Amino acid sequence: MVPGEAGSVSLRDVVVDPRPGRAASVSYRLTRQQVVDAVLDGRRDRAEVCDAQPELRRVATHHASPLSEPCPICGSDDLGVVTFAFGPGLPNGGRCVTDIREMQRLRRRGRPTRGYRVEVCAACWWNHLRETFPISEGSRGRRLLG
């Protein structure tokens, strides 16, 4: 899981949510494709990108939502997505959001909170950030986000 990769995102990856009061969601589809292409071309080693950390592996094993697309690296159907929430009062490594009630609780906290969706393959441990999105903008945005 690499929220820090946000610094390498190109402007073309940014998808602005047009609804008033909503902070932008950011898609990492293009950077993901660049990484996949580099592996498939042999410019990057597969081991570099199939490196899910133990905690991410654990969360993915128990809480991932399956994706309808195959793993871009190994072709397995074991590709899933997990969501982590980051913000004040949450663990440094983020909190894994496992269901809609948890998401609703995070929205009601009234503190700025951002979600990170990470895809993980349980066959080869490929992992990549798919998107980040606002869960709550804090008290100021609570009414809009309720």
Q: Which residues form the interface with Zn ion (CB under 5 A)?
A: 71, 73-74, 76, 121, 123-124, 126
**How many CB atoms sit inside 10 A of residue 76's CB?**
13
Distance (Å, whole) CA 105 – CA 109: 6
Shortest Cβ distance from residue 72 to Zn ion (Å)?
8
Question: Considering beta carbons, is residue 96 or 121 the nearer one to Zn ion?
Answer: 121
Q: Which two tokens stand for residue 79?
A: 């590709």
Contact 109, 95 (CB under 8 A): no
Question: Considering beta carbons, is residue 35 or 124 the nearer one to Zn ion?
Answer: 124
Question: Considering beta carbons, is residue 49 or 135 the nearer one to Zn ion?
Answer: 49
Kindly report the backbone phi and psi dihedral angles of residue 111, in degrees, each rounded to the nearest multiple of 5, phi listed first: -125, 150
Shortest Cβ distance from residue 39 to Zn ion (Å)?
11
Shortest Cβ distance from residue 102 to Zn ion (Å)?
27
